[in-house]
Amino acid sequence: MMRVLVPARLRKAVRTWFDSRYISIADHRQDIRDALWEVKTLRREVVTLQAEVERLRNAKARPAGPSPGKARIDDTHRLAQETAKALDGVLQNEVLVWQAIDDLRSRLAPAGPAEQGAPLSRERPCV
């Protein structure tokens, strides 16, 4: 290894130049403290978010309002079935009512449009 005598002034200048290129130990310590603080903050946020996810998950499982009891569900089912059955009767009666109306019409006007195949009226009580 070769040693070269360097003037103290030059050596100091070079060292100062080098030192200016690097962060001081004190600054490093501060950076590490800051990073730790960030990690802790993030950890707290993740815990909060996890709690929020859990809360939402539970909220989805439970219906918003008070859940209807089994009796209420059974009653709605019964009502739907009875209504549908009643509507069957209404629809069949409608056919019979039109049959009676058309019969009366043809008696009132035996050679009327009904006998000649004219289009049916579009009247309908409900559609």
Partner 1 sequence: MRVTWTGGELTFRLGAEDEITGHASDGHPVKLATNSCVISGAPADAHPDLFAVAAWTVVAPWTRRRITFDRAISAEVAAALHDGWGVEAGPVGAEPRPDGARLAISYSGGADSVAAASVYPEAPFVHFRRVPHRRVPNRWPHYRSDVLAKLARRTGRELTIVESDLEYTLAEPRPGYPEHHAVAAGALLLADRLDLGGLGFGYEMGSRWLGGGRYLHRYTPDNDLWAPHGRWGRLFASAGMHIVLPVGGVSEAVTMRLALGSDLKEHVRWCLRGTDGPCRECGKCLYKELIQAAVERRPLDTPITADRAPARKWFKPPPYGGQEMIEYGLARVPGIEHTLFAKTLEYFDVSEESTGWLDHCYPPAIDEIPAAWRDQAAAFMAAKVGFMTDDERRRVETWGS
Residues that bind partner 1 (CB under 8 A): 83-84, 87-88, 91-92, 94-96, 98-99, 102-103, 106, 114-120, 122, 127
- Report residue 95 as tokens: 């056919």
3-state secondary structure of 64: coil
Q: Compare residues 65 and 119 and give the one whose CB is closer to partner 1.
A: 119
Burial profile 17-47: b = 16 or more Cβ within 10 angstroms, e = fewer = eeeeeeeeeeeeeeeeeeeeeeeeeeeeeee
Residues 125 and 94: beta-carbon distance below 8 Å: yes
The least distance separating partner 1 from the CB of residue 58, rounded to whole angstroms, comes to: 31
Q: Compare residues 2 and 126 and give the one whose CB is closer to partner 1.
A: 126
Cα dihedral 81→83→86→90 (10° resolution): -140
Q: Compare residues 41 and 92 and give the one whose CB is closer to partner 1.
A: 92
Q: Compare residues 26 and 96 and give the one whose CB is closer to partner 1.
A: 96
The least distance separating partner 1 from the CB of residue 35, rounded to whole angstroms, comes to: 53
The least distance separating partner 1 from the CB of residue 126, rounded to whole angstroms, comes to: 8
The least distance separating partner 1 from the CB of residue 87, rounded to whole angstroms, comes to: 6
